[in-house]
Chains A and B, each alone.
Chain A
Amino acid sequence: MLYANDLACVKGDRPLFRGLSLRVAPGDLLRVAGPNGYGKTSLLRILCGLAMPESGEIRWNDVPVNRDRESYHRSLLYLGHAPALNDLLSPLENLRFACSSGGDKVDEDACIDALVRIGLAQQLDLPARVLSQGQRRRVGLARLFLEADRKLWILDEPFTALDVAAVADLTATLSEHCAAGGMVVLTTHQDAPFAKAPTVLDLAEVAC
């Protein structure tokens, strides 16, 4: 269970939000909403531990995350704005590296299956630099099929640059993950067709 208490975030000398608390229990899908510049990405980065909050505390299974970073990050999958693709490597090599550098055992066939499922069957061995924006996005998202045993998914704008079919497949995957006891925190400006309506956290309500 992810629990954040009384978070405050300051960018430069501008306070973005204050007194933000949230709770994500197994099975929850939390959508962070709010206009541009209200700190959605900042909040996600704080939640996953890439940035420090100005004040407040984040707990994972009732342990503060800065006290047991390892077990928190073992359960966390974060996909940010940047797709973490190296242009000189193929989608398959990129995906394999993303999994193995995280300490997960990866099977080459499982990686291929994930890329085929996300619609990159033709691009497996091409260098990533020739991929379109949507295809680059998909390589990152393919990790979702491989790392379902990571309980908490934090996704920053996962639907950007995806076509309708891909959005539907992704929402189904996210719903499946939640149904299996996983947790998802995401930001999006699109209305995605979720089976069960997500809980919404509106940053405009806690803005300074």
Chain B
Amino acid sequence: MSRALGPFAAVLGRDLLLAWRGRADVLVTLAFFVVVVCLFPFGVGAEPNQLRAIAPGVLWVAALLSTLLSLHRLFAQDHADGTLEQLLLTPEPTVLWVVAKICAHWIATGLPLVIVAPGLALLFDVEQGALGVLVLSLALGTPILALLGAVGAALTLGLRGGGMLLALLVLPLFVPVLIFGAGAVDAYLSGSGAQAHLLLLGGGLLGSLALAPLACAAALRIAVE
């Protein structure tokens, strides 16, 4: 077990260090999220009831778009400099370090969104109780986006115009996450409780955690061949 943890920790640690050294990229993603969310009140007007109603959807769509913005970086650098080949030649299962890379990516790009989301929700006058549900839905949902997106990133690795293709490939897959994520807050506000939505998101997270790394590993093998 500890033998397998070594490479997992090595990849996780390295990718987090790289995210820290290249933190400008991470900040751009976060700034994009904040700016997109802030644009909506200007566009739809400052009527409080309307803002309250659209808040969950706006935050979720913005989170989804900013996830998309950073996805292509997940494997691109390692593919270009040959690190990916070396990782594929490690004796440990490919899935192991793929999960480590996705974890590091989520910590660098997804977690900041979860942290700033409640502050932005206040701009939309979302009531206090719903903030917790919003944070929880994002905390469960954004890792799903990272996992599904990683499969797309691996499939489009090294292709010309891969960025556009990646968006077309993964955005439809993000739809269920969007529905249950934004739906959780709506359900809480309408009084029916967010439990069902959150459980479905949790289930989706476990399902994608089990399957996406396998698909990702297979796609990466094809990409280097």
Contacts and interface: CB of A to CB of B under 8 A. Distances in A.
A27 B97 CA distance: 33
Interface in B4-20: 4, 6-7, 10-11, 14, 17-18
A97 B82 contact: no
A interface: dominant SS:
loop
17 contacts: A48-B89, A50-B85, A51-B225, A73-B89, A76-B89, A78-B86, A82-B81, A84-B86, A85-B82, A86-B18, A86-B83, A97-B10, A100-B6, A100-B7, A102-B86, A103-B7, A105-B6
Given A70-B92, A89-B21, 5 more contacts: A70-B91, A73-B91, A84-B85, A97-B14, A101-B86
B74 to A, nearest CB: 14
Contacts of A73: 89-91
Interface in B131-152: none
Interface residues of B, number: 28
Size category of the A interface is 20 to 34
Nearest to A140: B82
Given A50-B88, A50-B225, A52-B225, A84 B21 contact: no
A45 to B, nearest CB: 8
B116 interface: no
A88 B22 contact: yes
B87 interface: yes
A85 B80 CA distance: 10
A81 interface: yes
B77 interface: yes
A84 B77 CA distance: 10
